Amino acid sequence: MIEERKLPAYAAGAIDVPFVIGFFQERVQVDTYWPSHSHPTHELLWNQQGVSSVSVGPKTWTITPVLGVWMPAGVLHEGTARAASVCNMSHFGIASVDSIAEEPVPVVITPLLRLLLERLADPELTQKSRAITEAAAMDNLQPAPGCLAIHVPQSELLQPIVAEMIGQPKPAPSLQQWAERLGVSGRTISRAFQAETGIGYSRWAGSLHAQQAMEMVASGEDLQDIAQLLGFSSQSSLGAAFRRNTGFTLSSFRDSK
């Protein structure tokens, strides 16, 4: 069962807010989907526990306790969250805070940044303490290095690949195997991936596996089981591929539990 929760679409700054940084939290009881919506404020999505995701057009980012996503004000997006996730939303008034990027970007939720954002939930903070904490939070808020989104192709040619590989984690067929199944050349498939996503099939499959591994680790699944599901010969080979694709270690997501 997936619960659908509709939210309005606001232009940037459409509503004046009485805060510089506001902290909000929701404990998700069942798998939940939020259709396309937007906020009048900038938003930082980050989790206390569990896994969620946010999508803008064909791009999807995974949100875990150590990796959040910055969403500029007014940008239409949709989201999902798994049951038992604790989702945090920090909203930033655009009159006081400039966006850290023109487009959505991943943000590493360091222990210090987490403490600062959580402190802003304290209703007893003095005005002076709140201002100091907000300034420190902004000083520690910056886009994560590298590309941590998965770009889902939309072309008819690539839909069989998307349908099979998005969702249930599994080993990735080789480019030649897809060429034989689709009745086209491997070069044709590579060109289609490059045109839509900016990368070839192999890198795209590696990015998808990295996102899937991130979700499973953040959900508490065993690293060896994840490696087997994704077709890696060992936990260490999975870890090496993950770091190559994201710049992070899988253990950083496991240790966040």
- 32-37 and 77-81 strand pairing: antiparallel
pLDDT of residue 246: 85
Please tell me the predicted confidence (pLDDT) of residue 168.
85
Burial class (CB in 10 A: 0-12, 13-18, 19+), 6: exposed
pTM strictly above 0.95: no
CA distance 8 to 10: 6
Dihedral angle of Cα 197, 202, 203, 205, to the nearest 10 degrees: 80
Q: Report pLDDT digits (tens) over 100-141.
A: 999 999 999 999 999 999 999 999 999 999 999 999 999 999
- Which of these, 119, 120, 117, lies nearest to 108 by C-alpha position? 117
Is residue 205 classed as helix, strand or coil in its secondary structure?
helix
Cα distance between the two ends of the chain: 25
- C-alpha 82/C-alpha 103 separation (Å) is 25
